[in-house]
Chains A and B, each alone.
Chain A
């Protein structure tokens, strides 16, 4: 029964083109990883390994979920199936969904594969990420976030040469790191299968959840002009939304947060970033300049943040309301401008921190400033336009349920992010080129924002994609 069930679970979750794409990615990654020169672990690779492992562990636990659809709840779980077969099938589907991301993000770690143990560590990491995604929904939000942060900090402590972390194997402590990973993998996989064994019950519980939650400090639009209302809505609150693939789970995410809270958090984070740079961040010179790797890492982090913020502009939009009220060009122009202002409020503390570092001689902060002031805002608008025109996806349903299906069109949403990451990386190597690229991004973004014809076509696209 297992092969049949496995086939059914995979075919109902992944489109055929998506599976072909996964196959190509796996082949490509294996090819690259077998041909890449084995140079062992160096400082930069060690930083990258620990950083990326920390990020994936934290994100898997913070945002994971089980890859189950409403039709599973209504039909599959009512069938007399072995819970072991069901668990294995769903776990495998999660592994497939996340596998491509893991392979792609970790491919360059292959140069560290001077020991076969590191290959085993990679597999263990992939299993751990998948398992954390499965465990995530069984933990209360607050505890989940706390645990995610703890996991990330624990992994990052390998920077300080702590040998027993999930990232230590890639940071010069092969045996301690491998032993740690084996234990972590065993524990998380066991917990994941225990959770999947009672998946039907957990999913059924979500069906009877009917309580409504109040918004604690609602915004008022009394006395606002139409344009004032748009700015009020988007500057008072921020929303992060999108369809995410984390740890094998496809889910709609939509969170609303007060802007002042996010700006405060950004200010604290920027202060910590500045403090870290001034106290322990300076590392031996690379490329003949004072280098602070954190500057580019933070810039990349902010790029991802900008991407997630950009997705909420369209995924949460209700054009049957907004575009029957105002002309599309007017509405979108002000929506995007307000979103850019809101983004800049978060970026401002980091811009100030980098400006201070630049004055103090950290040349790499110039690259970070290019990223923060040009590339992120410019790409942010393009990402909104892309999401609206190429791959419009609307957050519609109950966020308790996973949409759980993958196709290539959804993945296309994230395509611009690849180009932006290339530009961000270029900023640290050839700042003038990156600055020119950033200016072009801003110019194209401004043109699209002001283009009535573009937004008119977007409305047709959105309508044809079920937004009305």
Chain B
């Protein structure tokens, strides 16, 4: 009896072992049969580039509401890529950029990243909106590819994730910066918060602003919400007016913040306006009219800064874009995200997704246009500084620098 049962176990074990080795072998074979030009292989986990080029993916909103950001981030990323390839690439290999459109929608961001993964990219750079980036990360981490987000600031995006990184600050910092600025520099003590319930970005930002504002000793007198796509805000604004706030924090994107500001002023609300980097498009001047002028937003850098990185970037950008300065901050962030990825690729031990991930995670004191970026030991979230800028008419430069905040602990 005992003999028989142990022989069964032995047979079972050897069967498992056989299948294990067979599995390994077939994976190796797949690796060997990879093509020649720009080909890559996907094994159980991770992708290795073989052939003459290394592919990196970029997801950007090239159509839809967020086109100003998508276009700028794409141009920025392409600039960084061109510099890298002109300087010789890595080990004689050039990097090829595969661009997919996320159409300003989370669903399309998902399809776009799945497509990039199947094309054999070893890493993905993108997106600006947090909701879209979430989908990219999900698609990429399944195949163990690193993602470097451009402007996705929602705090929990990188939580407990080994493959998600970003080059921007997080909302847990952005919210407190605006809370601090409103409280200390503008004397606001009673604030109202307007949140876009459809956007994870807006929800997270409102939350972090609220917590820090209360911590500073301020009072949140009203919280109302809307959904992106809404156009009439009269009822929400009536409720808000009744609570008589001294300042209003609008955590949504510029597409709704403009009309909200215009309708708030029309409803006779005279409070000061504050917001996050979601305001960052000169389109807000069209939809917000005079009402948005004098509002404050948090941003990653400013074209007027005299740091060398900023001025070098602007010179190169202007040379390629007919002398115009970039319209949004996402140009610089897209440039930084791509440059950081390529810099990591140079340091990586092999042109594979695993080695690339390792190198990105070990980035230290990378001198970006938007500031110094260190990812080592920060779980994908670089501790970066943030700027507060004021919205001014186009003739005065749209965003006028007001105050810079170095990274501080917000907990």
A and B found bound together: no
- Name A's B-contacting residues (CB within 8 A): none
